Chain A
Amino acid sequence: MGNSIFEPEFLKRLERLALNMEKLTAAGSGGLRKSRAKGNSVEFSDFREYAYGDDLRRVDWNAYGRFEKLYVKLFMEEREAMVNIFLDCSKSIDFGTPKKSVLGIQLAAAIGFLALNNMDRLCINLLKKDTMVSSNVLGGRGQFDICAAFLDNIQFEGTTNMDKAIKLKKFGGRGLSLVISDFFTQGPLEDFMKYLLYYRQDIVLLHVLSPDELNPQLQGQLRLKDSETGEMVDVDLTPSIYDKYQQTLNNFKSSLKEMAKKYGGAYVTISSNDSLEKILFEDMITTQIIK
């Protein structure tokens, strides 16, 4: 997978976007890593009255001349954010028409592109069974190829224990963690979110489901086989079972959304049938994951 996965026009549009780091800055105490390119890009934001301990270099003396009060200039600090993408590589992701895995990879690549394009640092983590395979930390546009290469040739297999796998991640500091998965996973989902929050990660859950999962078109008496475990269940697909499925699915999505909200994160349901443009330019902008 290389740059060719994105159309030039699409790339142009992507370039105009950035991952929303507002939450990071809003929470921001000033001690995080400063941008290496800060000299030209300091952007005035606001005034406030001087308080003891403020840097005297930031006092606006002109204002003092006019009002005889000490005001401190506030500047929007640009930061270099750490973006972690967790991609579920279980067998269940490699299913659906179109496959959820394809969209998952495209989504990871697009978000990676956005991160690198905005001079953020990027790490892609593939969740496989109980383990995790992470890319090197990438920075700068030039490393998108490495990102794309890492995303190429992923094997989707087995059952992912998302909780165990994510907890293997060692975070250097706060950042943005995006989890791309169908969340058909073993282990409690809430635990890994607590873990992420503990490491001061902004959480974004990208819930990828296939159209077959969102609206099954099955009929009659079926013996459903789990692609991951091979387990089988006999189901008579009566209207009442369909109703219950839809109810269960909605509950599942709602619980994930609630959990994300609870831990200060965001949640988006994505159909593998959706175009990348729709996801990026509509769904993710609507949920303010991208601005």
Chain B
Amino acid sequence: MGFNNLYALGLLPLLGLIILMYMLKQQHEEMEISSLYLWKKVLAQSEVKKPWQKLKNNILMLMQLMAAFLIIMALSNPFLTRGKALGGNIVIVIDRSGSMNAYHEGSTRLDIAKSMAKKAIGESDNTSVFTLISIDKTANVEFSGVTDKYQAIRAVEGLEKTNMSGSVKEHLSLIKAVYRQFESANVLIYTDEEVALEDMSGEVIALGGYGSNVGIGHISYSQDSEGYTALVRVENTSQEPEKRELALYGEDKLLELMDVELAPGESSSILFENIDRGYKYLWAELTEEDALQEDNRAFLVPESTEPKSVLLFSEKNIFLEKALSSIEGLEVYKTDDVDITAEGYDLYIFDGITPTKLPDDGSLFFINPDEDNPYFKPGETIEGGRADVISHDLSKNIDGFSFYIGKMRTLEKPYWADALIQVGKNTVAGAGIYGGKKIAYTAFDIHDSDFPLDASFPIFMYNMAAYLTDMEEQGKSYYFSGETIPLNFVSHIQEAVMENPDGNETSISEELLDYGYDNTNSIGIYKLSYKKDENAGERVFAVNFPREEGINAFQGQWEGEREAGDGRGYSIMGTNLQVPIIIFVVLLLAAEWMVYIRGN
């Protein structure tokens, strides 16, 4: 047994005061009577009947003494030792990856981990210094060097569940680094993952185990003329055969229900065919609750299927054709007939030739334009030089690249265009909007440069095609919780707002679009609403529970590990007795009151 507050024991002499008060009070009034003959018999009879009767006169005093003693004990905050336990520097590591959401007897593993950690903090020595590390997709040092137990407990309480994929093993090096910054420390790792302490002293508290669980491991789709076909893989991670009902939804509409029966460890792929196009997202759900809820649903956003069409006016340009054909979502058509009246394309590329009549629709991309075009005034051919790609939205990922141009035309950069590539002070490539049209140009023939041989060329072409056709970057059909959703698919967005599956909205400023959106803890559909060029747009993204978390959650039971280390930093601690003592004192005072009432 030990005390967290030894100073309170200094109040013990007060017990003597109670005895003294009783001694003063206890002076009986003396009275002479004829004989004690009968009284002795009375008292003897009382004592014979109740052996404790002797104490009865003093029972109130004894109870008050005991109550006072216990109050002092409660103030001293005693604890029952269970041998040597942790103290000193304590590094608490709590795994809060997705698998920790698995339920065990009504509580999630994370809840159990938190309550165990709180208990460990509560029972630790008052001189303990706490560091808390939470593990999800990253290792987060929540606090370090905290001596206030309540602050530490509050911080542990504040740890929220995540659905992210995470591994303590992956972050063991960080844990070790934190551990080693102390001269001596003990580490407490609460996880459902099998982890070794290696050379650290402390304890790994194993929270893993078996459970009844079936999860959706994968969702994908394909499309044909009949519509979408969705494939859902369902995996039984239990030790028992399981039967489930699998539902597929198109947005909020239930499309189909299927029964699935799985042997232990078995997985099954289920196809849902002939799903109408037009749903912004599809999702599958296992309707029955089980040990891990989070992997019971999986979402999917089908890609936009409308390809952009490009008409290339070119006599022969293998580089250009290759670069364009490698861009997904583009349908490239080629012609060298300058007399056709073309229309209906998203983009027209003029490689050194200009048609007799320029198209009315679509965007235009002039490569080495001649004098016939109405947008530029090309001059004489001059010798080229080193061309530098300058920083711009359209030079994304090739910013700073350079190549050499053999010869080029002098061409004054129109006022509406932004410079993209420069040779010296001459702009040799630019883009902008003129008369409501997106127009881009290069002032050199690609064949007269080593640009096509450079890695930057296809990227440049992609950037130009994407810009000129409004072809937004197609995202993945779904992301995993914790992953960053890229938002740089389109530039010049204004007023972007992301609504997460819980209905919470977050404004995203234009500067932050390049960083993407990484607050993807919740599982479900995220909606990005934005304004671009005064037009409102919306994109949806799906975020799913990481498959490996569902699979690993029920790998089996293991016993954890305990390494006592060299004993430094250990101190005596154990079960806190303060609350039980206070309860006992209250009961004792109630009993004392009853004795007092009965005695009178």
Check if B40 sits within 8 Å of A233, measured CB to CB.
Answer: yes
Q: Mark B15-45, 1 if CB is under 8 A from A, else 0.
A: 0000000000010111111111111111101
Enumerate B22-80 residues with CB–CB distance to A below 8 Å: 26, 28-43, 45-46, 57
Instruction: Tell which of B31, B43, B599 touches A225, judged by Cβ atoms closer than 8 Å.
Output: B31
Give Cα A213 to B36, complex, Å: 10
Q: Which of B32, B40, B45, B57 contacts A227 (CB 8 A)?
A: B32
Q: Which residues of A contact B38 (CB under 8 A)?
A: 184, 213, 245, 248-249, 252
Contacts of A184 in B (CB 8 A): 34-35, 37-38
Task: Please provide the chain A residues from 247 to 268 with a CB less than 8 Å away from any CB of chain B in the complex.
Answer: 248-249, 252
Q: Determine the distance from Cα of A110 to Cα of B41 in the docked complex, in whole angstroms.
A: 33
Shortest distance between the CB of B562 and any CB in chain A (Å): 58
Whether A224 and B42, one on each chain, are in contact in the complex, defined by CB atoms closer than 8 angstroms, is: no
Complex Cα gap A213–B34 (Å): 8
User: Given the known A-B contacts A233-B39, A233-B40, are A182 and B45 also in contact in the complex, defined by CB atoms under 8 Å?
Assistant: no
Assess whether A223 is interfacial by the CB under 8 Å rule. Answer: yes
Q: Which residue of B30, B32, B33, B41 contacts A248 across the interface (Cβ within 8 Å)?
A: B41
How far does the Cβ of B134 sit from chain A's closest Cβ, in whole Å? 64
Q: How far is the CA of A91 from the CA of B41 in the complex (A)?
A: 20
CB distance from B29 to the nearest CB of A (A): 5
Cβ distance B142 to chain A, nearest Cβ, rounded Å:
62
Choose from A96, A210, A222, A244 the contact partner of B42 (Cβ within 8 Å).
A244
Q: Which B residues touch A96, using CB under 8 A?
A: 34
Kindly list chain A residues whose C-beta atoms are within 8 Å of the C-beta of B37.
Answer: 92, 184-185
CB pair B33 A225 closer than 8 Å: yes
Supposing A224-B39, A233-B39, A236-B57 touch, asked if A244 and B46 sit within 8 A by C-beta, the answer is yes
Q: How far apart are the CA atoms of A238 and B599 in the complex, in Å? A: 7
The residue in chain B whose Cβ has the minimal distance to the Cβ of A223 is B28
Residues of chain B within 8 A of A235, CB atoms compared: 28, 39, 43
Residues from chain B with Cβ under 8 Å of A92 in the complex: 34-35, 37
- List, in ascending order, chain A residues with CB within 8 A of B31's CB: 218, 222-225
The docked-state distance in angstroms from the alpha carbon of A249 to that of B42 is: 9
Distance of A221 Cα from B57 Cα, bound (Å):
10
Residues of A within 8 A of B33 (CB): 95, 212-213, 224-227
Whether B35 pairs with A221 at a CB distance below 8 angstroms is no
A74 CB → nearest B CB, Å: 49
B46 near A241 with CB under 8 A, answer: yes
Q: Is A68 an interface residue (CB 8 A)?
A: no
- Distance in angstroms from A261 CB to nearest chain B CB is 22
**A158, chain B: closest CB distance, angstroms:** 12
Main secondary structure of the interface of A (DSSP, over half): mixed
A234 interfacial by beta-carbon distance below 8 Å: yes
Q: Which of B183-241 contact A (CB under 8 A)?
A: none
- A233 to B40 Cα, complex, angstroms: 8
- In angstroms, Cα B35 to Cα A225, docked, is 8
A232 interface contact, C-beta 8 A: yes
Would you call B599 and A248 a contact (CB within 8 A)?
no
Q: Which of A213, A222, A226, A227 contacts B29 (CB 8 A)?
A: A222
Residues of chain B contacted by A227 (CB below 8 angstroms): 32-35
CB-CB < 8 A to B40: which residues of A? 233
Complex: chain A residue closest to B32, CB-CB: A225
Which listed residue (A233, A238, A248) contacts B45, Cβ 8 A?
A248
In the bound complex, CA of A210 to CA of B33 (Å): 11
**Interface size grouping (class) on chain B:** 20 to 34
Closest to B25 in A: A221
Is B30 touching A225 in the complex (CB atoms < 8 A)?
A: yes
Q: How far is the CA of A100 from the CA of B33 in the complex (A)?
A: 13
Chain A residues within an 8 Å CB radius of B43: 233, 235
B29 near A182 (CB under 8 angstroms)? no
Q: How far is the CB of B437 from chain A (nearest CB, A)?
A: 111
8 Å CB contact of A232 from B30, B34, B35: B30
Chain A 195-228: CB-based contact to B (< 8 A → 1; otherwise 0)? 0000000000000001011000010111111111
- Return chain B residues, CB-CB under 8 Å to A248: 38, 41-42, 45
Please name the residue on chain A nearest to B26 by beta carbon. Answer: A221
CA distance A37 to B43 in the complex (A): 57
Q: What separation, in Å, do the CA atoms of A229 and B32 have in the docked complex?
A: 11
Give the docked Cα–Cα distance between A186 and B41 (Å): 13
Determine the residue in chain B with the shortest Cβ distance to A185: B37
Of all chain A residues, which has the CB nearest B33?
A: A224
Nearest chain-B residue to A159 (Cβ)? Answer: B35
Tell me if A233 and B36 are in contact (CB < 8 A). Answer: yes
A182 CA / B38 CA spacing, docked (Å): 11
**In the assembly, what is the distance between CA of A241 and CA of B38, in Å?**
12
B356 to chain A, nearest CB (A): 127
CA distance A221 to B58 in the complex (A): 12
Q: Does A221 lie within 8 Å of B45, measured CB to CB?
A: no
Tell yes or no: A9 within 8 A of B by CB: no
- Chain B 271-315, CB-CB to A under 8 Å as 1, else 0, gives 000000000000000000000000000000000000000000000
Q: Which of B43, B57, B599 has the most CB of A within 10 A?
A: B43
CA distance in complex: A223, B31 (Å):
6
**Minimum distance in angstroms from B54 CB to a CB of chain A:** 11
Given A222-B28, A245-B42, A248-B42: A234 touches B57 (CB 8 Å cut-off) = yes
Chain B residues with CB under 8 A of A213: 33-34, 38
A86-101 CB mask vs B (1 if < 8 Å, else 0) is 0000011101100010
CA of A223 to CA of B600, assembled, Å = 18
Residue of B whose beta carbon sits closest to that of A91: B34
Interface membership of A231, Cβ < 8 A:
yes
Query: Which residues from chain B contact A225 at a C-beta distance below 8 Å?
Result: 30-33
* Binary CB contact string for chain A from 69 to 104 against chain B (1 if under 8 A, 0 otherwise): 000000000000000000000011101100010000
Q: Report which of A218, A226, A238, A245 forms a contact with B35, defined as CB distance below 8 A.
A: A226
**Chain B residues with CB under 8 A of A220:** 29
Interchain nearest-CB distance for A196 vs B (Å): 22
Least distance between B88 CB and chain A CB atoms (Å): 56
Among A92, A210, A248, chain B packs the most CB atoms within 10 A around the CB of: A248
Residues of B within 8 A of A210 (CB): 34
Name the residue of chain B whose CB is nearest to the CB of A238: B599
Is B599's CB under 8 angstroms from A226's CB? no
Report the separation of the CA atoms of residues A92 and B39 in the bound assembly, to the nearest whole angstrom. Answer: 14
Q: Which residue of B lies closest to A94 (CB)?
A: B34
Chain A residues contacting B46 (CB-CB under 8 Å) are 241, 244
Q: How far is the CA of A185 from the CA of B34 in the complex (A)?
A: 11
Q: Tell me how far the C-beta of A241 lies from the nearest C-beta in chain B, rounded to whole angstroms.
A: 7
Cα separation A143 to B45 with both chains bound (whole Å)? 48
Contacts of A182 in B (CB 8 A): 34-35
> Are B36 and A234 in contact (CB-based, < 8 A)?
no
List the B residue with the shortest CB-CB distance to A243: B42
B residues in contact with A100, CB < 8 Å: 34
9 contacts between A and B (CB under 8 A): A95-B33, A220-B29, A221-B28, A223-B28, A226-B32, A227-B35, A233-B40, A235-B43, A241-B46
Known: A184-B35, A185-B37. 6 other contacts (CB 8 A): A218-B31, A220-B29, A223-B28, A224-B36, A226-B35, A249-B38
The 8 A-B pairs of least Cβ separation, nearest first, read A95-B34, A223-B28, A184-B35, A184-B37, A92-B34, A92-B35, A226-B36, A225-B32
